[in-house]
Structure 1
């Protein structure tokens, strides 16, 4: 923990040093300033500390003048003999307000609050980073159909729908040609882009762009009319229709 100490009274500064060592021996005071001008010079020249411990009334004025001269990004625990600056303190990066004479229990409680906030922010940042770095799902770009005549390599983007016929999975191209697949519909559902393909029922998965229009049917089902040169229709099951409506609206 890198700490900037802003305090113009040596006995108070010495006490804070002792309290810091008692609380966390690894804490490092990177600089000590007795005046606002010294704090401004330090923050302009060096990286922001993890935490600032600051008195309010200093040798050259009120510490809040600091915020008008330099951008302060570090959290601050204010340590002062005055209770009249409480609102202003928490408007300016304040996370703690400890009154003099300082008691160790109050000082430690303020540092514990800082550490809880830091851990919370780090956790949120790590979650965001993990989400950003997580590999995008990889969907199948092509499938293989093995027949007696040979092996066909099928581009998934050219397939209009998948259908279970007599217990065998078929992929149907946009020209209406059917190809036998080894995968089950559930296996296909897991590797097809859900933004493009939708599982209509137990036996069919359709690609959105081959649908010409939708027509309400009985028991809250939808009939899908396919674009030419395809012929025929597909029908959603009633329990899938609500999800299909959401899918259609993006």
Structure 2
């Protein structure tokens, strides 16, 4: 019997995922449904690993890739998302298929068929060995330092000393307390997965902020929030899509 874990924060999308899963495999059992990274983390810590995880990437409390830094995930994952920018990360983190929203059943079924082909190719001891290897692999730690390469040499940056990160002309920059900008090789999405979600939050497509750097929040147009930083001459704005997550992250109603 196929045991599935669903991770999706939007009810219509979760309902569709559930319907598609049971349409494809009527005998399957949905062992859990999670809408947040924290819920998925708790589930995987307390329950046996499911046979397959069907997961969105952007969730209410952050990016699902944060999950892989906090718990050993031995299950294969089919990622179902509206974003095409996480493809590389998906296949670095147990991903076996990547389905873009809006999801058509034919796409979903093709991903499930790929899972079944892979499953059939690993039988008995080989499958058990694969699961053991994945579950015993060391969990990646969140980044404590970053490296900026310049003509003058390498700068070692302590993550705790960086109030925010910003995408400028397609290039990721780390900003320090003095307002100096350091070019990074990582994309903003890669940084989001590498930084501790308890300390850093992605405000929009171009900016990530550190919690300790926030001085105050100001309501703005269309229920968004302007984020004023401590001892910084700049202010950042949370996107409409991410403002509810920011409020939740900060414990605001």
Structure 1 length-normalised TM: 0.49
Q: Which protein is bigger by CA-based radius of gyration?
A: 1
Q: Looking at both structures, which has the greater relative contact order when contacts are Cα pairs under 8 Å and sequence separation is at least 6?
A: 2
